[in-house]
Structure 1
Amino acid sequence: MEDSAFPENGFLLVPWNSVALVDHGDQDAELAGNPPIRVDLRTGKCEYIDLLEAFDYMSRGFMS
């Protein structure tokens, strides 16, 4: 799962949204409707990305 996260402009985009998905790779545990999480690498602040950002990352091949 670590290979799915990627850094960009001082942030880490983490395309998982449940502990079971992160810890065990259980794709069935993915939470529908929750976007990936962006982590500020300086402050550690976490936030969900918005829909337009998700489409941007998908168009650049970072997310499926």
Structure 2
Amino acid sequence: MDVRKGESEKHWFRSDRFSLVNGKWFFQTREGSVEGPYDTHQEAETVLLLYLRHSDDSLYHGVR
């Protein structure tokens, strides 16, 4: 398992960000929000990656 940015050791527990509820997929952010519903796991993964990219871009550009 890779080490997160800014961490030198691996001492954390990661749970699955994705959940299937009534046939629809959701993902949870570190901030605690639940995003969805999405029709497929792949769609939820894609949106999560876009969400993370946007979050990283905001950090680099001082936006929050």
TM tier relative to shorter chain: under 0.3
Structure 1-normalised TM-score?
Answer: 0.20
Structure 2-normalised TM-score?
Answer: 0.20
